[in-house]
């Protein structure tokens, strides 16, 4: 059962964080949270909404640029 939960979480992360902007990521998390009522998704969404939008955008860009 734990394996299925992990696979599901990995799928959620892949689905929500594949987008190019924080706005798209938050929209995706909101959509998945409303569809699944997933606790991790709701918690992550709440944490992102508490953070500074600018710092989230800078962090996302740094992570994405660091990959290449």
Residues 12, 40: contact at Cβ < 8 Å?
Answer: yes
Cβ neighbours of 19 (radius 10 Å): 15
Cβ neighbours of 47 (radius 10 Å): 9
1-26: pLDDT as tens digits: 344 455 588 999 999 999 999 999 99
pLDDT at 60: 95
pTM, two decimals, is: 0.83
28-68: pLDDT as tens digits: 999 999 998 989 999 999 999 999 999 999 999 999 998 65
DSSP code, position 21: S
pLDDT at 59: 94
């Amino acid at each position: 059962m734990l394996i299925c939960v992990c696979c599901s979480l990995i799928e959620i992360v892949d689905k929500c964080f594949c987008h190019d902007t924080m706005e798209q990521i938050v929209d995706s998390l909101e959509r998945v949270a409303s569809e699944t009522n997933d606790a991790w998704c709701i918690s992550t969404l709440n944490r992102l909404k508490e953070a500074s939008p600018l710092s989230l955008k800078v962090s996302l860009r740094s992570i994405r640029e660091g990959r290449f």
